[in-house]
Amino acid sequence: MVKVLAKELKGTQISANCVAPGPIATEMFFEGKSAEVVDRIVQESPMGRLGETKDVAPVVAFLATDASEWVNGQILRVNGGYV
């Protein structure tokens, strides 16, 4: 959908991108998950931890600046390598 939107916005100098965070330690992430499930997710992560909002915020901030003007139609996975 982001690629389609990027094409639709052609000529407007507006870029369309998507940030796809991995497991982030938020209330919504923990809701309904047992400690065992959370531990398994942490063990599966190459970084050995859950992400934090401070890991995602700089990427979003970058996309809101002129420095990202050549980034368009992309999905930026901010997941610490978690698959």
52-79 average pLDDT score: 98
Report the chain's mean pLDDT, rounded to a whole number.
97
Q: What is the pTM of this model?
A: 0.87
Is residue 32 predicted with pLDDT exceeding 90?
A: yes
DSSP-derived 3-state class of residue 47: coil
Task: Give residue limits of the domains in the chain.
Answer: 2-78
Residue 83: predicted pLDDT: 85
Residue 62: predicted pLDDT: 98
DSSP 73: S
- Superfamily, domain 2-78: NAD(P)-binding Rossmann-like Domain (3.40.50.720)
4-32 average pLDDT score: 97
Is residue 63 predicted with pLDDT exceeding 90?
A: yes
In the structure encoding, which two tokens stand for residue 58, read together?
Answer: 């700089």
DSSP-derived 3-state class of residue 21: strand
CA distance 82 to 4: 26
